Amino acid sequence: MAGVFKAYDVRGIYGQVLNKELGYQVGRAFGAMLGAGKKMVCGRDDRHHSPELQNALIEGLRDAGIDVCQMGLCTTPMNYFACFSDGYDGSVMVTASHNGGEYNGLKFCRKDAVPVGYEDGLDQVEAMIAAGVPEKADRRGSLSEKSYKDGYLAYLLERCHFKSKFRFAVDAGNGMGGYIIQDFLDRSGQRAVPLYWELDFSFPNHPANPLDFSTLETLRQTVRDQGLDFGVAFDGDADRCFFVDDQGEIIPSDILTTLLAVHYLEEKGPTAIVYDVRSSRVVKEEIDKRSGEAVLCRVGHSFMKAMLRRKSGWFGGELAGHFYFREFSYADSAFLTMIMVMNIIDEKGKKLSELVRPFKKYSPSGEINYVTDQADRLIAEASEKFPGGTVCSIDGIRL
């Protein structure tokens, strides 16, 4: 089990640190923690070992007395949607997101798609397995099947308020975004230039990780060459996305957070907007201008979702490309983000580059990473060097 239990999920190279035996044990332990008689929904991505891992996990859950609905292929946000829309007590998604095809993983949620991380549940699951898998429940859980693809698409289409016919490109990175993009386009009356929509978790074209800007080069060039309105790239399980404007320029996620925050503040009035500590100061400045509550949060989707829910805010954004919506049970959805951007472009009647230009006031350095075993000392020294400054220690140090 060494190293397979991460901060937000269970993840590792399949056949080495993660296998069907461990999948079964995780199912037994998580089911025991949730409680016999509860209901869960389970979905998966298209990795070649995902069906095996899913089946083992489901067997473990059922032996723990959990009634399981198997939803088959889906994006992670579709799994969230199933969880909160049909009142399940929990959900699990079999995916390793943008990691290479040799990896797999398990993302768990409680009721209302509240994520389960290591600090609030996965640690207990790991401890249960280490101590010996809990006994089987008196009653074995049932198994049913239901697709949520049409329901999720209907939910998304209800939020499409745009009238324009857009010219845009979509890079699915051979991940799960390709599973629903054509259906979405057909039903919304839109067309898009396809980039890597075929499901292939060997990721033959580029890693499905748009946070790595090198993966966006083809998308950028396509937008420029064809004079498109914008481009959007999804990660492997389609919970994250990045945008390219009509000039082929990458829009940093904190700038997109600002655009969406302004939209919600103008539409809903003063509300809490959650953003992560790595974001540009322009986010807070624009929220403050509109009498919103700018809520700084530590990095990580479970922390962001919990903070947004606690504040009952309408929206939150994270530099990694996660965007969170109150109307989506405080969870993230790349497709809902894309729809909101399309709505804004249509409503404002401006190009995307024009809409984000006012927010590009500061020059970002990007991430500059160093490895150290003296983090606490370095943080303290940095704080001491700026005695007159404002120090934020929510997650490391921000000056």
Express the helix, strand and coil content of the chain in percent, nearest 5 each.
40, 20, 40
Torsion-angle region of residue 66: left (phi > 0), alpha (psi -120 to 50) or beta? beta
Q: Which of 50, 85, 91, 97 is catalytic?
A: 97
Q: Is the CB of residue 40 less than 8 Å from the CB of residue 5?
A: no
| Phi, psi dihedral angles at 291 (to 5 degrees) | 65, 25
CB proximity list for 328: less than 8 A, separation 6 or greater = 77, 80, 81, 336
| Residues counted in the chain | 399
Torsion-angle region of residue 73: left (phi > 0), alpha (psi -120 to 50) or beta? beta
Is 280 one of the annotated active-site residues of the chain?
Answer: no
Q: What's the farthest any 2 CA atoms get from each other in the chain?
A: 63
CB proximity list for 9: less than 8 A, separation 6 or greater = 105, 106, 107, 108, 117, 122
Q: Is the CB of residue 49 less than 8 Å from the CB of residue 101?
A: no
CB proximity list for 282: less than 8 A, separation 6 or greater = 254, 255, 258, 359, 360, 361, 362
Residue 231 to residue 251: CA distance in whole angstroms: 10
Residue 275 to residue 323: CA distance in whole angstroms: 9
CA distances to 270, 294, 313 from 289, in Å = 10, 10, 17
Q: Which residues are catalytic?
A: 97
